[in-house]
């Protein structure tokens, strides 16, 4: 977990993004600390790596292995679950849209090397991606010719109420501020659109039993850890409503993942009167 490139100046202290308070210590994790907000229960890493150190990590070609996240002629065992998730999640989306996907606009935030985006395009979606790693953005543009923005959704001016589907697979735990992230999502999703995502959760069995040994803690990259409860709050803060959570590791959309969920959200209904 220690990286010789990190120095004291690579770290920053942060507060709960919802309540702005420091919170209390759950576990020490090397140079990192796992903190729980005493007010809302959100779990987060503080001190955490500063943006510049995290950026360096995502640009490293070893972080996203093309064999896993992209298209490779080499056979890779790791590609099997990636493909199971991608095809079954697309099937779920097709079901949500009642089969009507031709020309529908799909945005994937954190599209890595474009595996899911390319499959979505082949099924008839009009696809756009956003990716934080410039190495991956260049790769997609050159090899798949897809429309991908480089950077973070909070800093990209996208049209309001424009997307039928917005997906982010294992992304929300990595972002600088999940509140600002979801507000940007809420702004550009259509009134009747669907948000579909996956993320690890902190009240899962592996996380509860293994505590500081939980394999998904990864404090250098997972800055925020949600419980089902805090996820609900964070979505409603941004005028979004979680309408379904799939926890089962036997469901193909979440296959073999004992510590993660797939969630579906929509814009909250406006209260009349
Ligand atoms: Zn809080």
pLDDT in tens, 134-179: 989 998 999 999 999 999 999 999 999 999 999 999 999 999 999 9
Cα of 241 to ligand 1 centre, how many Å?
19
Count of domains forming the chain: 1
Scan for tokens 């953005």, then name that residue: 137
Per-residue pLDDT band for 1 (boundaries 50, 70, 90) equals very low
Cα of 226 to ligand 1 centre, how many Å?
11
Cα of 108 to ligand 1 centre, how many Å?
27
Cα of 154 to ligand 1 centre, how many Å?
21
Q: Is residue 273 part of a domain?
A: no
Check pLDDT > 80 for residue 259: yes
Q: Is residue 176 part of a domain?
A: yes
pLDDT in tens, 28-61: 998 999 999 999 999 999 999 999 999 888 887 6
pTM of the model: 0.94
Give, in order, the Cα–Cα distances in Å from 63 to each of 14, 22, 69, 138: 24, 30, 10, 15
Q: What is the largest CA-CA distance in the chain?
A: 60
Cα of 20 to ligand 1 centre, how many Å?
7
Q: Which domain holds residue 19?
A: 8-267
The mean pLDDT of 210-218, rounded to a whole number, is 94
Cα of 39 to ligand 1 centre, how many Å?
5
The CATH number of whichever domain residue 134 belongs to comes to: 3.40.50.150
Specify the DSSP element, H or E, that contains 189.
strand 189-200
Q: What percent of the chain has pLDDT over 90?
A: 81
Q: Is residue 3 part of a domain?
A: no
Q: What is the DSSP letter of 98?
A: T
Per-residue pLDDT at 81: 87
Q: Is residue 2 part of a domain?
A: no
């Amino acid at each position: 977990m220690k990286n010789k490139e990190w120095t004291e100046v690579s770290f920053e202290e942060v507060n709960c993004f919802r309540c702005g308070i420091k919170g209390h210590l759950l576990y020490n994790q090397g140079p990192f600390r796992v903190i729980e907000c005493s007010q809302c229960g959100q779990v987060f890493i503080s001190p955490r790596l500063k943006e510049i150190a995290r950026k360096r990590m995502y640009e490293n070609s070893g972080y996203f292995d093309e064999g896993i996240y992209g298209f490779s002629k080499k056979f890779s065992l790791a590609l099997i679950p990636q493909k199971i998730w991608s095809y079954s999640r697309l099937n779920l989306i097709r079901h949500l849209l009642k089969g009507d996907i031709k020309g529908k606009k799909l945005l994937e935030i954190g599209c890595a090397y474009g595996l899911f985006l390319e499959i979505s395009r082949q099924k008839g979606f009009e696809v756009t991606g956003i990716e934080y790693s410039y190495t991956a953005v260049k790769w997609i543009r050159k090899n798949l010719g897809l429309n991908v923005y480089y950077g973070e959704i909070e800093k990209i001016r996208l049209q309001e109420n424009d997307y039928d589907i917005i997906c982010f697979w294992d992304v929300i735990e990595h972002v600088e501020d999940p509140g600002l992230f979801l507000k940007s999502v809420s702004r550009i999703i259509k009134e009747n659109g669907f948000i579909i995502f996956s993320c690890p959760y902190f009240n899962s069995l592996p996380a509860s039993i293994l505590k500081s040994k939980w394999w998904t803690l990864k404090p250098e990259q997972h800055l925020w850890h949600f419980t089902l409860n805090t996820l609900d709050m964070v979505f409603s803060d941004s005028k979004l409503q979680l309408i379904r959570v799939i926890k089962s590791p036997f469901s193909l959309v979440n296959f073999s993942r004992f510590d993660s969920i797939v969630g579906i959200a929509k814009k909250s209904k406006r209260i009349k009167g």
